[in-house]
Structure 1
Amino acid sequence: MAAGTEKRDGARMVCIENDMTILNAAALKKLLLDSLDSVPGLLLDLSRVGEMDTSGFQLLVLIKREAQVTGKGFRIASVSPAVEAVLDLYAMKDFFGL
């Protein structure tokens, strides 16, 4: 799994550079929850995600809900065509503010 992180205006920007599938869902979950825990907000760049399955989608829902419960910011900055297709399939672009 490749992912880069950087702090930007008090939030943490996480750029996922691999697939978001069942094969790496556990590692991504840890990365994203740890990132959310350490800053007041999380910004995701998903523009380099090559493939996303239901596990990847469920992970995004989990992170958004965890941010809401803990009063932290969460936003998806950009998406790849693969991510956009999954969000369209589940009619969830509005849920994520896209």
Structure 2
Amino acid sequence: MELQLDKSAEPWVLRPEGELTIFAAAELKQPLLDALNGAPGLTLDLSAVEELDTAGLQLLLLLAREARAAGTPFTLGPLSAASEEALALAGARLWLEGDAA
């Protein structure tokens, strides 16, 4: 799993690439949260995620919660088929988009 952070525009774009699963969750938690440092806003681009399980989903929900708690605008960007399916199955898309309480 790789993380790409594009700071060339606002909002910044965070793009995980590969498998966002339990096998990568521990090593990705801090880098995901670090992406919020100084961010004028953050868009999460999941278009390159090949697999997303519940551990990966928990990390994404944590990222969204922490961004909102810090007052950092957070949006959900493009989705891969795998990430779209996982978000739909978990009913988590609204949480990531900020439309759920």
**Percent identity over the alignment?**
40
C-alpha deviations, 1:45-95, integer Å up to 9, x for none? Answer: 111111111011101110111011111111121111111111111112222
- Say how many residue pairs are matched: 98
The structure where strand makes up a greater share of residues is 2
Matches within 5 A, 1:1-98: 1-97=1-97
Deviates more, 1:33-42 or 1:45-54: 33-42
Q: Which runs of 5+ in 1 are unaligned?
A: none
Give the match's secondary structure for 1:19: strand
4+ aligned runs moved over 6 Å, structure 1: none
Alpha-carbon distance in structure 2 between the residues aligned to 1:58 and 1:43: 17
Give the match's secondary structure for 2:13: strand
The two structures have a TM-score, normalised by structure 2, of 0.85
The two structures have a TM-score, normalised by structure 1, of 0.88
**Alpha-carbon RMSD:** 1.7
Q: Which runs of 5+ in 2 are unaligned?
A: none
